């Protein structure tokens, strides 16, 4: 959802409140620094007046001393301003990233299913990084420009009000009118650019993951052509944005030159009319010529900020996105005593998946679930986990609706194993301890023995400390699946939901795991989804799901 740029600025600026002291210091030092830079030229004008024998506010030696001090102070103040601005920027980028990760946690898994991972990575990395332009180069510079222009207008008004009005017009045109015109000419170019950038990231990530299949089937040329086409389209959008920004800078330079010339003409006319002295010609012209630094800094951001606001829109849209299910807290604690689905109806979008399904799962039982692909078996397990909410009917655990159980309690009571086990780029032990961070080595080994994977791990050079590679790509599908089962055994939850847990295993490993499930079934309830009849032989009862109903 695209938001108004002023609303985006207001929301981004509101985040600075905890660092308002640093912002105030940056504004004061930036203002002082720009005043030092501007009055270097003004004092030079006073020095010329003194050499010509005209009235000057101080002697030549004093003026030169002040110019030297201003030059030194300008460098220190500029450094201090930028240090404060970048401290604010990088602190806030860390804060925003924390908020984004919190939003992703709230949204998952339902809202993130099918979401382009490359686009999400672009939001978390490059989009957030672009906000540095706003915090380090826009927020305090805008306040500095406003205060600086007010001071310069007051200074010029001491010579003649007309000079102050002309300077005010120059500042408004260069610092407000031109940037707004550039922004309006850019339209949605920034948002299109950030969106295409995210899509390109997703395409590249997808291509890297499927590299072996691309090579095997000779699809490299067409995929490379697609990457080139999207890259070219992105480059053309960037060229368009840079061209607009360049034109804006050129117009700004021309406008500044024109106003400098107008100031000279105005002051000369006032001098001829006797309204000002010779100093009233020299000083206002020099003051205006040296005073456009803060305004130009803002004007040059006109094109850049379109990209920044587009990135901010994408970040804020993610933060504003409402989850499918909210985390539940504050309910009475719950212990597992069985589960049940009653007349459950559920749809993905407009497609009905479950239509009146009912199932009772007594404590200590093993319930097998069979059915055709797409009949809703996996969806049923996700409803017990409360990844989604039913449209009607009730999914209950221990006699209570899952909507009335603390989310943390529900996660503690349940373990979920799918046929596609995700492994992080870490060691085997670290991947297992996701299920129980304080697990001892003996507990890890016991869980792996139950999953028929301990002997394999022991055969590796580093044993449990062996890295699994990115997405576990150093292991086979069966090995990854057995590690997923080991996680579930280590979690030791009383309610175990298994979705095709042996699909990638040979008959010997399947038999060993089913034996472990049989031995560990005391005090444990299992829902076992499988197409294999051999896997379902340990079930106490088998429920067939057809057309979203149990039969």
How confident is the model at residue 550, as a pLDDT? 64
- What number is the average pLDDT over the span 18-33? 91
The answer to whether position 325 is within a domain reads: no
How confident is the model at residue 340, as a pLDDT? 92
How confident is the model at residue 45, as a pLDDT? 85
3-state helix, strand, coil in the chain (%, to 5): 65, 10, 25
- What number is the average pLDDT over the span 310-318? 84
3-class DSSP state for residue 480?
helix
pLDDT: is 106 or 28 the higher one?
A: 28
pLDDT: is 197 or 183 the higher one?
A: 197
End-of-domain residue from the set 272, 288, 320: 320
Q: With bands split at pLDDT 50, 70 and 90, how would you rate the model's confidence at 242? A: confident
- What number is the average pLDDT over the span 282-303? 83
pLDDT: is 419 or 261 the higher one?
A: 261
Residue 102 neighbours by CB distance under 10 Å: 11
Confidence check: pLDDT of 303 > 70: no
How confident is the model at residue 1, as a pLDDT? 44
Q: With bands split at pLDDT 50, 70 and 90, how would you rate the model's confidence at 269? A: very high
* Domain membership of residue 524 as a residue range: 339-550
- What number is the average pLDDT over the span 72-101? 90
Six-digit token string for 477: 């599908």
- What number is the average pLDDT over the span 427-451? 91
End-of-domain residue from the set 320, 351, 375: 320
Q: Are residues 300 and 367 in the same domain?
A: no
List pLDDT tens digits, range 324-373: 888 888 888 888 889 999 998 888 777 788 888 888 999 888 888 888 87
List pLDDT tens digits, range 508-540: 777 777 777 776 666 788 898 887 777 788 888
How confident is the model at residue 433, as a pLDDT? 93
List pLDDT tens digits, range 203-235: 887 887 777 778 877 888 888 888 899 889 888
List pLDDT tens digits, range 270-289: 999 989 888 888 999 999 99
End-of-domain residue from the set 290, 320, 350: 320
- What number is the average pLDDT over the span 127-145? 85
Angle value at C-alpha 404, between 403 and 407, nearest 5 degrees: 75
The answer to whether position 524 is within a domain reads: yes
How confident is the model at residue 212, as a pLDDT? 75
Q: Region of 60 please: left (phi>0), alpha (psi -120 to 50) or beta.
A: alpha
3-class DSSP state for residue 291?
coil
> Measured between alpha carbons, how far is 199 from 206 in angstroms, rounded to an integer?
10
Q: With bands split at pLDDT 50, 70 and 90, how would you rate the model's confidence at 114? A: low
* DSSP states of 68-96: HHHHHHHHHHHHHHHHHHHHHHHHHHHHH
List pLDDT tens digits, range 459-477: 988 999 998 877 667 788 7
How confident is the model at residue 521, as a pLDDT? 65
* DSSP states of 300-323: THHHHHHHHHHHHHHHHHHHHPPP
The answer to whether position 507 is within a domain reads: yes
Domain count, the chain: 2
Confidence check: pLDDT of 100 > 50: yes
The answer to whether position 100 is within a domain reads: yes
Q: Are residues 309 and 171 in the same domain?
A: yes
How confident is the model at residue 318, as a pLDDT? 86
Nearest to 190 by CA among 229, 137, 133, 142: 133
How confident is the model at residue 267, as a pLDDT? 92
Q: Are residues 264 and 346 in the same domain?
A: no
> Measured between alpha carbons, how far is 88 from 261 in angstroms, rounded to an integer?
39
Q: Are residues 389 and 499 in the same domain?
A: yes
Q: Are residues 287 and 368 in the same domain?
A: no
Nearest to 433 by CA among 448, 411, 453: 448
Q: Are residues 310 and 343 in the same domain?
A: no
% of the chain residues with pLDDT over 70: 95
The answer to whether position 334 is within a domain reads: no
Average pLDDT of every residue of the chain: 85
How confident is the model at residue 471, as a pLDDT? 65
Q: Are residues 247 and 295 in the same domain?
A: yes
> Measured between alpha carbons, how far is 506 from 190 in angstroms, rounded to an integer?
53
Residue carrying structure tokens 């409140």: 17
Angle value at C-alpha 358, between 361 and 356, nearest 5 degrees: 160
- CATH number (domain holding residue 249): 1.20.1560.10
C-alpha distance from residue 160 to each of 43, 151, 166 (Å) = 19, 14, 10
């Amino acid at each position: 959802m695209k938001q108004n740029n002023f609303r985006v600025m207001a929301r981004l600026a509101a985040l600075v409140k905890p660092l308002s002291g640093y912002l105030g210091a940056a504004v004061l030092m930036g203002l002082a620094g720009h005043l030092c830079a501007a009055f270097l030229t003004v004092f030079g004008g006073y020095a010329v007046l003194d050499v010509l024998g005209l009235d000057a506010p101080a002697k030549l030696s004093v003026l030169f001393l002040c110019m030297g001090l201003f030059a030194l102070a300008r460098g220190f103040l500029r450094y201090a301003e930028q240090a404060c601005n970048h401290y604010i920027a990088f602190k806030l980028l860390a804060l925003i990233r924390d908020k984004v990760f919190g939003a992703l946690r709230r949204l998952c898994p339902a809202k993130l299913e099918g979401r382009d991972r490359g686009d999400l990575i672009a939001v978390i990395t490059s989009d957030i990084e672009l906000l540095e332009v706003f915090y380090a180069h826009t927020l305090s510079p805008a306040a500095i420009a406003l205060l600086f222009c007010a001071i310069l207008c007051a200074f010029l008004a001491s010579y003649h009000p007309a000079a102050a009005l002309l300077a005010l017009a120059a500042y408004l045109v260069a610092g407000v009118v031109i940037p707004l015109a550039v922004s309006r000419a850019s339209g949605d170019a920034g948002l299109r650019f950030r969106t295409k950038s995210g899509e390109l990231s997703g395409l590249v990530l997808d291509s890297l993951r499927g590299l072996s299949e691309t090579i095997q089937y000779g699809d490299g040329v067409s995929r490379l052509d697609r990457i080139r086409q999207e890259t070219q389209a992105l480059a053309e959008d960037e060229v368009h944005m840079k061209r607009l920004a360049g034109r804006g800078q050129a117009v700004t330079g021309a406008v500044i030159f024109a106003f400098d010339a107008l100031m000279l003409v105005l002051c000369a006319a006032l001098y001829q009319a006797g309204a000002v002295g010779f100093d009233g010609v020299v000083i206002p012209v020099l003051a205006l010529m040296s005073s456009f630094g803060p305004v130009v800094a803002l004007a040059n951001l006109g094109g850049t900020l379109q990209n920044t606001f587009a990135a901010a829109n994408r970040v804020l849209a993610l933060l504003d996105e409402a989850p499918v299910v909210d985390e539940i807290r504050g309910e009475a604690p719950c212990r597992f005593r069985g589960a049940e689905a009653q007349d459950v109806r559920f749809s993905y979008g407009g497609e009905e998946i479950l239509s009146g399904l009912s199932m009772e799962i007594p404590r200590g039982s093993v319930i097998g679930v069979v059915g055709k692909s797409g009949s809703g078996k996996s969806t049923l397990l996700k409803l017990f986990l409360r990844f989604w909410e039913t449209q009607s009917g009730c999914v209950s655990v221990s006699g209570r609706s899952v909507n009335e159980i603390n989310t943390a309690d529900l996660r503690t009571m349940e373990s979920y194993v799918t046929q596609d086990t995700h492994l992080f780029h870490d060691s085997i032990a670290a991947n297992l301890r996701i299920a129980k961070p304080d697990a001892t080595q003996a507990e890890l080994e016991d869980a792996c023995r139950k999953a028929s994977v301990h002997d394999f791990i022991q055969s590796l050079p580093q044993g449990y400390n062996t890295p699994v590679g990115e997405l576990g790509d150093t292991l086979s599908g069966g090995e990854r699946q057995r590690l997923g089962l080991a996680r579930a055994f280590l979690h030791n939850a009383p309610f175990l939901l298994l979705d095709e847990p042996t699909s990638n295993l040979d008959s010997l490993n399947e038999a060993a795991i089913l034996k472990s499930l049989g031995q560990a079934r005391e005090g444990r309830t299992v829902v076992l989804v499988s197409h294999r009849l051999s896997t379902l032989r340990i079930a106490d009862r088998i429920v067939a799901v057809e057309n979203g109903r149990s039969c």
